[in-house]
Amino acid sequence: MADSSNIVMNGDFSDGLEPWYPNGCQAFVVSSDSSSSDSGYAVVTNRKETWQGLEQDITPQVSPGVTYTVSACVGVSGPFHESSQVLATVRLERDDSPTEYLFIGKAIASRDEWVDVEGTFSIKNMPDRVVIYLEGPAPGKDLLIRSVTVKDSTSCDFLETEENIAASRGFPPALNIIENHDFSDGLCSWHSNSCDSFVVGSNNECNSESYAVVNNRSETWQGLEQDITDRVSPGCSYKVSASVSVWGPVVKSAQVLATLKLEHHGSETEFKLIGKTYASKDTWKTLEGTFVFSGRPDRVVFFLEGPPPGVDLLIKSVTIHCENNNQFERSRDFCPSAPEADHHIFLNSSFSDGLNHWSGRGCNLMLHESLADGRILPHSGTCFASATERTHKWSGIEQDITERVQRKLIYEASSVVRLSHSHHTVQATLYVQYLDQREEYIGISSVEANHDDWVKLKGKFLLNGSPARAVVYIEGPPPGIDVFVDHFEVKPAEKPPRSRRPYIESHVFGMNIVSNSHLTDGSVEGWFPLGDCHLSVGEGSPQILPPMARHSLRTTHEYLSGRYVLATNRSGTWMGPAQMITDKVKLFLTYQVSAWVKVGSGGGLTCPQDVNIALSVDGKWVNGGKVEVKDGDWHEVVGSFRIEKQAREVMLHVQGPSPGVDLMVAGLQIFAVDHKARLSYLRGQADMVRKRNVRLKVTGLDPDELSGATVKIRQTSNSFPLGSCISRSNIDNEDFVEFFLNNFKWAVFGNELKWAWTEPEQGSFNYRDADEMLAFCETYNIQTRGHCIFWEVESAIQPWVQQLSEHTLEAAVENRLTDLLTRYNGKFRHYDVNNEMLHGSFYRDRLGFDARAKMFRTAHELDPLATLFLNEYHIEDGFDSRSSPEKYIKLVHKLQRKGAPVGGIGIQGHITSPVGHIVRSALDKLSTLGLPIWFTELDVSSVNEHVRGDDLEVMLWEAFAHPAVEGVMLWGFWELFMSREHAHLVDADGEVNEAGKRFLEIKREWLTFVEGVIEDGEGGFEFRGCHGSYVVEVVTSEGKYVKNFVVEKGNSPVDVVIDL
Catalytic machinery residues: 836, 937
Interacting residues of 190 by C-beta distance below 8 A, sequence separation 6+: 180, 183, 197, 212, 224, 225, 226
Strand 663-672 to 563-568 pairing: antiparallel
CA 941 to chain centre: 11
DSSP 422: S
746, 785 Cβ separation under 8 angstroms:
yes
In the beta sheet, which residues pair with residue 790? 834
DSSP 893: H
In the beta sheet, which residues pair with residue 1024? 693
Q: What span, in angstroms and rounded, lies between the C-alpha atoms of 276 and 254? A: 10
Secondary structure class of 965 (helix, strand, coil): strand
As to burial, measured by CB atoms within 10 angstroms (0-12 exposed, 13-18 middle, 19+ buried), residue 1026 is buried
572, 658 Cβ separation under 8 angstroms:
no
Positive or negative, the CA dihedral 438, 444, 450, 451 is negative
Strand 965-970 to 933-940 pairing: parallel
CA 392 to chain centre: 35
577, 567 Cβ separation under 8 angstroms:
yes
What HEC string does 982-996 produce? CCCCECCCCCECHHH
Nearest by Cα to 443 from 985, 984, 990, 977: 977
Positive or negative, the CA dihedral 349, 350, 354, 355 is positive
As to burial, measured by CB atoms within 10 angstroms (0-12 exposed, 13-18 middle, 19+ buried), residue 47 is buried
Q: What span, in angstroms and rounded, lies between the C-alpha atoms of 637 and 616? A: 18
Give the strands of the sheet with 650-655, arranged side by side.
Answer: 528-530, 576-580, 650-655, 609-617, 620-629
Q: What span, in angstroms and rounded, lies between the C-alpha atoms of 896 and 900? A: 5
> Within 13 Å and on the Cβ side, how many CA atoms surround 1058?
27
Q: What span, in angstroms and rounded, lies between the C-alpha atoms of 951 and 940? A: 6
H helix or E strand, kind and range, residue 833? strand 830-835
Q: What span, in angstroms and rounded, lies between the C-alpha atoms of 869 and 882? A: 19
What amino acid is encoded at 198 in this protein? F
Secondary structure class of 91 (helix, strand, coil): strand
